[in-house]
Structure 1
Amino acid sequence: MKFFFTVLLTAAGISCLAQGIPFKSLRYDENYTSLANDTSSNWYKSLKFAPLTVDKLSYVSFGGEIRYQYFHYKNEDWGEAPNDRDGFVLTRYLAHADLHLGSHFRTFLQLQSSLANGQLDTPSPVDQNIIDLHQAFADYALLTGHKKSLTLRFGRQEFSYGSQRLVSVREAPNNRQAFDALRLIYVAPNARFDVFNSYYVPAKPNIFDDGFNKNTQFWGGYAVFNKVPLLQNTDIYYLGLRKKTTVFDASTGLETRHSVGARAWGSNPEWLYDVETIYQFGNFAGNTISAWTASANVAYTFSQLKHKPQFGIKTEVISGDRTSNDGRLNTFNPLFPRGGYFGLAALIGPSNLTDIHPYAQIELTKAVAFNIDYDLFFRMSRNDGIYAVNGRMIYPGKAGTSDQIGRQLGAEFEFTPNKHFYLRQEITWFSAGEFLKQAGPGKDILMVGTTATFKF
């Protein structure tokens, strides 16, 4: 408790020193050049913008994050995991330096330390990665201008595209994910185009051991168009994946998969919408891939009311393998999705699934919000199993005959007094459906969690 109050007071003090420049999910997208004209003198401004030349075109900026999480599960993994009476603590530390040398060259370095304490089993590398070089890339601006830019980026970096259904920084888990990549970024008024070739960086548990790895190659192109008539915003993309070893219910083997997708999204003070469809094709262990998903998220906010209540519904249909041993794989691969894909707890992954997900939010004060959501999960195909968010198979299709996976109810309070500090208290109850009872112990899960995050 003393730690929370100390961090809160520190965040409140820092917030007074540098207002108006928000933190971003991708910290390398933050721009502090506006501080070059700030004549005030304080240590936080010097931390965020330290000029190296008289013209202030060369400068360095520092930042970071500290996150503490506590989780307690009753009947973790629906009763398969050992009973843990005390819960466990996850801690994440991020620190970065952003160096700009003139208007053409820039390099960004970030360290990450993810620690897990109190887990009964050996923590996975996603929960515990003692310390590693998380990002280290260089930019060279081939074209600079007020309205258009073309940048070549080379090195280890985070990716985040669209709704993060397929490509995410993986914020919810303890260890964020990165790629060793060569990337070309073109930005124009109301449009952005990314083309890249990369290799996924798998997390390893020890010190500075997340080396270059060729097991998973990832390439593609992503285009975003803004101010589109009728649709407001659209994304069009192609993503390619080649992975040496992938495990599905159908088999295990080499996977070469191509994903083509389109997304329409937009918002105003009342309405929010996000509609996306994806088709996948390729080859897996001698089988032809034919998989797909369609999703929609629509919400309405009563913006004129005092607490601005919002009501919405999400729904997704995600293909699973229809028939075994037919030479065709229909299981959808979510590639590199965000961790908490459905609701507040990361229990079910986006493969072989039909999901109906109503939710609501209300602003109790300017700093406090309350969210509640309810999920209904069904297997899309009874011949395919269910998968975790990371793609790991939880139970094979033959473990049961029912398509009913379960129901999930989640609620959370969010406290955001300023841009530096964030506190969340959440609770999730998962009622196991008939398939989980057929496949395993099938006990209901209760999870409570607390998250405290401090950014600078």
Structure 2
Amino acid sequence: MLLGSPLSFGALIAKATESEAENLKVIPIGSEGSLTWSTEVRLRYDAHENRFLKENQDDRQSLFRGILGADLRLNPNLRILSEVGAAHVDRNRRLAPPNFENEASLQQLFIEARGSTGSALVGVMIGRQEFSDGPRQLISLSDGPNLHRTWNGVRVYANDSRCRLSGYDLRITRLERGSFDERMDKDERISGLNASFIISPEGEADILVDPFYIQSENPQFRSGKNLGLDERHTLGIRTWGRHDDLRFDWTLALQKGTFMSRRVQAWGVFATQSLTLSQEGWQDPRCHGALVWAAHGDIFSRRLGHYRNWKHAFAGRD
């Protein structure tokens, strides 16, 4: 068979290479199972000038993240996922925390079982896993450092086409700088309930309302010069989605609990929004509205005996 041009030959080679790579990436196991490999490499460069508002207090740093993952699906209802990560920086390595400089860490290792009941998908995830279910101002993966924050425990969920329910009980992972020397910290934990409901009519852009409840415990929480046990209950509601050219994400939350035996009363309001200026072009140009983060943050009140200090539960730098 003669090929019409070098371009056709190159396209054929590219297609064959892509097919071979796909065969290496996804390996069939039996009649229903498969093993899927995944990799992630991130290079990032940070530059800070006049840090802490001090002249010539400049900082430069290159960051590297490498992740190797394997997803073993035994059948459509059962899978095991694992990920190993490495992290490096180019300067001040001895001073870098373990989520920036790390030889090797078991980032995720969990088993997930799921099935259908009626129109709903229900499931459970047990083991070490990433978690960011809720407003990013409260809980996030902490994507700025090289390695994400991970948790150990159980999550359950139930989804259908217009609503989602989930619950969780998790303990944080403490990283060290060596190889596979991280540990689960049983004392610091989060648990809670989340729900999500699509309130926009069928066929229109989704607008969602997400009520949530988060309970957090941290025996080593620091606020200013104070260090001690912090127990908080955060109850809130998030509304987010798109209406015509407007995208929005608004959250209102209330916090109660105790910090070093003092009662906590606090609240927070977070709002981001953007407006699409044109539907044409490679990327739709947008006008981003103000990022509003307001929180009740009064100092300790001797008269009331309350500690009014908002806590961003497990939000990380981006």
| TM-score (normalised: structure 1) | 0.61
Counting aligned pairs with the same residue, the percent is: 22
Q: Which deviates more from structure 2 when the two are superposed, residues 149-158 or residues 228-237?
A: 228-237
The code of the aligned residue for 1:106 comes to R
Separation (CA, whole Å) in 1 of partners of 2:58 and 2:139: 34
Separation (CA, whole Å) in 2 of partners of 1:300 and 1:76: 32
> Which residues in structure 2 correspond to 1:47-446 (within 5 Å)?
47-53=24-30, 55=31, 57-79=32-54, 87-119=60-92, 122-141=95-114, 143-144=115-116, 147-228=119-200, 232-249=207-224, 251-268=226-243, 270-306=245-281, 308-313=284-289, 314-326=291-303, 327-340=305-318
Are the aligned partners of 1:258 and 1:280 in contact in 2 as well (CA < 8 Å)?
yes
Separation (CA, whole Å) in 2 of partners of 1:120 and 1:139: 36
What's the offset of the Cα at 1:261?
Answer: 1.0
Are the aligned partners of 1:250 and 1:329 in contact in 2 as well (CA < 8 Å)?
no
The code of the aligned residue for 1:240 comes to Q
Separation (CA, whole Å) in 2 of partners of 1:237 and 1:102: 32
> What is residue 7 of structure 2 aligned with on the other side?
none
Q: Check 1:232–1:79 CA distance in 2 against 1; reply closer, same or farther (3 A cut).
A: same
Q: Check 1:227–1:50 CA distance in 2 against 1; reply closer, same or farther (3 A cut).
A: farther
What's the offset of the Cα at 1:233?
Answer: 0.6
Separation (CA, whole Å) in 1 of partners of 2:21 and 2:275: 39
Q: Can you list the C-alpha shifts for 1:144-176, whole angstroms capped at 9, x where unaligned? A: 368421111110000122342212111222121
Q: Give secondary structure in 2 for the equivalent of 1:144.
A: strand
The code of the aligned residue for 1:311 comes to C
Are the aligned partners of 2:65 and 2:88 in contact in 1 as well (CA < 8 Å)?
yes
Separation (CA, whole Å) in 2 of partners of 1:305 and 1:107: 42
Q: Check 1:70–1:119 CA distance in 2 against 1; reply closer, same or farther (3 A cut).
A: farther
Q: Can you list the C-alpha shifts for 1:229-248, whole angstroms capped at 9, x where unaligned? A: 69821111101111111111
Q: Can you list the C-alpha shifts for 1:56-111, whole angstroms capped at 9, x where unaligned? A: x2111111111112223333343399765xx3221110110000111222100000
Q: Which deviates more from structure 2 when the two are superposed, residues 88-97 or residues 260-269?
A: 260-269
Kindly report the root-mean-square deviation, in angstroms, between the aligned alpha carbons of the 2 structures: 2.7
What's the offset of the Cα at 1:324?
Answer: 4.8
> What is residue 412 of structure 1 aligned with on the other side?
none
Separation (CA, whole Å) in 1 of partners of 2:42 and 2:195: 32
Separation (CA, whole Å) in 1 of partners of 2:68 and 2:52: 33
What's the offset of the Cα at 1:47?
Answer: 3.6
Q: Specify every segment of 5 or more residues in structure 2 that has no aligned partner in the other structure, as ranges.
A: 1-10
Q: Can you list the C-alpha shifts for 1:9-39, whole angstroms capped at 9, x where unaligned? A: xxxx9xx86xxxxxxxxxxxxxxxxxxxxx9
The code of the aligned residue for 1:330 comes to R
Separation (CA, whole Å) in 2 of partners of 1:95 and 1:336: 25
Q: Give secondary structure in 1 for the equivalent of 2:124.
A: strand
| TM-score (normalised: structure 2) | 0.86
* Higher RCO (Cα < 8 Å, 6 or more apart): 1
Q: Check 1:46–1:257 CA distance in 2 against 1; reply closer, same or farther (3 A cut).
A: same
Separation (CA, whole Å) in 2 of partners of 1:88 and 1:146: 52
The code of the aligned residue for 2:74 comes to L
Q: Give secondary structure in 1 for the equivalent of 2:184.
A: coil
Q: Give secondary structure in 2 for the equivalent of 1:335.
A: coil
Q: Give secondary structure in 1 for the equivalent of 2:241.
A: strand
The code of the aligned residue for 1:208 comes to F
Higher strand proportion = 2
Q: Can you list the C-alpha shifts for 1:271-320, whole angstroms capped at 9, x where unaligned? A: 11111101010011011011110122222112345463211212121121
The code of the aligned residue for 1:177 comes to R
Q: Give secondary structure in 2 for the equivalent of 1:213.
A: strand
Separation (CA, whole Å) in 2 of partners of 1:71 and 1:304: 32
Separation (CA, whole Å) in 2 of partners of 1:81 and 1:123: 21
What's the offset of the Cα at 1:40?
Answer: 10
